Amino acid sequence: MPDIKQTIEFNVQGTSELHEAAESINTIAQALDNIKGKVVGADIGKGLDGAGRGGREAGEGFDRAGKAAEEAKSRISNMRYALYDVAAVMQNISKTAFGAFSTVVKESMEYESAFAQVKRTNDIAGKSADELRGKLEQMAASVTTTNFKDLSNIAALGGQLGVAKESITDFTETVAKLSATTDLSLDKSGETIARFQTIMGTTGQNFDNIASSILKVGVNSAATESQIANTSTQISAMGKFAGLTEYQVVGLSGALASIGVAPELSRGVVTRMFTQMQKAIRGGGDELNLFAKVAGVSAQEVQSAWGTSKFSDIFVKFIAGLKNQGQGAIGVLKDLGIKASRDVPTILRLAEAHKTLEQTMRDAESGYNDSKTLNDQYNQIASTTAGKLEMLKNAWSNLKAEIGRSTNSGIGDMLGSLTGLVQVLANLVQNPAAQWIAKLAGAFLTAGGILAGYYAKQALVLGGAYALTTAQRSMGIAMQHPITSIRSLPVRPRRDG
């Protein structure tokens, strides 16, 4: 019995242990299941995290692609503007180069045109013309402030007024300086100097002397240089007739202008007065004696002085003697045959101002003998900054003209050929058959112009439509890009526990 009991107890105890073992195994299995579930959950979470990271990376990729596209678009736009800048720079270079070429050609053409008048009026050509042109250019750049074109006008005027060819250079320089230092225009200065040469035989080497004489009298008297010059050109012929020199004519002109006698009236008075004096001197009678008595000299001195430079002194003494005659001056003039209503008052006014006449005669002589008067006065002007600037401008113009001169011959030949071609075409068009062809060509050109205008309008319309479509597409892409970025944002899975 004990053995059976022991066996039963053992069996019961074994069964209990088996149960316990089974429970342990179940516990382990549950634990494994839990572990497996956890592992599987972990794998799914990792997968989801990986998917989220992939989505984010994809979104970042889209963002980078969008930025790259924007950068490419910006670079293309910048390149376009850069090309615009390059085009603008090249256009400016082209304009500058063409403008420089046009400037030198234009300057050369103006020089050529101005000097053509010099060659025409002075009848020069070839080497002589080239030498004179070189002298005028040198004069404009370093001697006077007058430009080449004005100097050419002076030289051309000299040729018109009969100035000798060998004296043209001296004439031009003197006129330019006289005009710069007085109120005389270039034309009037030229006319004055030319008249002295033509009427009184003044040589080119004495042009400066005449100008200095006029300048000094103008500075020291009540008359302007233009008044003196105008009067001188009016009375120079009668002055030479009586024997007066150039400076004596200038001195008498200065006195007449100082007392307000007009140039034309001066000519009439001097003409009639000297004519009557000549009659008295040649007559050798009472009139000659009266003239000599008023002048305070002998009749023989009067006769020997007439027609020479010495007559000037006797004439001045006669005018001063009239002043001393007082009320008898009118009678003296009447006895000498000077009775004109305009002559007598003028001569009496000159007698009242006899000291002015004496002074202007002295100034005219000293100015003539010292020709540096003109150059000294002119140097005061040329030495100023403005004067030097004018010379620099003249030198620059000379340079442009010489550069253009080297190309003008080719241009002239080309223009000559084109002119000949145009003339040939003009002659051909006069032919009836050619006129019919011309009409047909005109019709084709008209039709072509109409078609070109039509296609141009059509191109503008198509271009506008294309521009509108491109703008719409650009706006659509710009709106889609933010939506794509939002969709690419990662979404994390929701976890329990």
pLDDT of 449: 79
The pLDDT, as a whole number, for residue 487 is: 52
Q: Which residue has tokens 């390149």? A: 79
pLDDT given for residue 1 in this prediction: 47
Alpha-carbon span 110 to 103, nearest angstrom: 11
Question: Is the CB of residue 302 less than 8 Å from the CB of residue 314?
Answer: yes
Task: Choose among 236, 179, 175, 186: nearest CA to 208.
Answer: 175
For 482, residues 6+ apart whose C-beta sits below 8 A from its C-beta are none
> Cα(281)–Cα(283) distance, rounded to whole angstroms?
5
Q: Which residues of the chain have pLDDT under 50?
A: 1-15, 18, 39-40, 42, 48, 485-486, 489, 497
- At residue 70, the pLDDT reads 73
CA distance 378 to 374: 6
Quick one: pLDDT at residue 459?
Answer: 76
pLDDT at 358: 96
Give the Cα separation of 191 and 148 in Å (integer): 19
Dihedrals phi, psi of 57, to nearest 5 degrees: -60, -40
Helix (H) or strand (E) holding 5: helix 2-122
Cβ atoms of 256 and 364 within 8 Å: the answer is no
Q: Are 360 and 225 in contact (CB under 8 A)?
A: no
**The two three-digit tokens of residue 326, written as one number:** 């007082």
* DSSP code per residue over 213-250: HHHHHHHHSSS-HHHHHHHHHHHHHHHHHHT--HHHHH
Q: Which two tokens stand for residue 142?
A: 């370093």
pLDDT of residue 314: 96
Structure confidence by residue, pLDDT tens digits, 264-301: 999 999 999 999 999 999 888 899 999 999 999 999 99
Question: Which residues have CB under 8 Å from 158's CB, separation 6+?
Answer: 121, 122, 167, 168, 171, 172, 175, 190, 194
User: CA 299 to CA 289: how far, in whole Å?
Assistant: 6
At 4 the pLDDT is 43
Place of tokens 């009026």: 121
* pTM above threshold 0.85: no
User: Distance between CA 246 and CA 309 in Å, rounded?
Assistant: 10
How open is the CA angle 219-324-289, to the nearest 5 degrees? 110
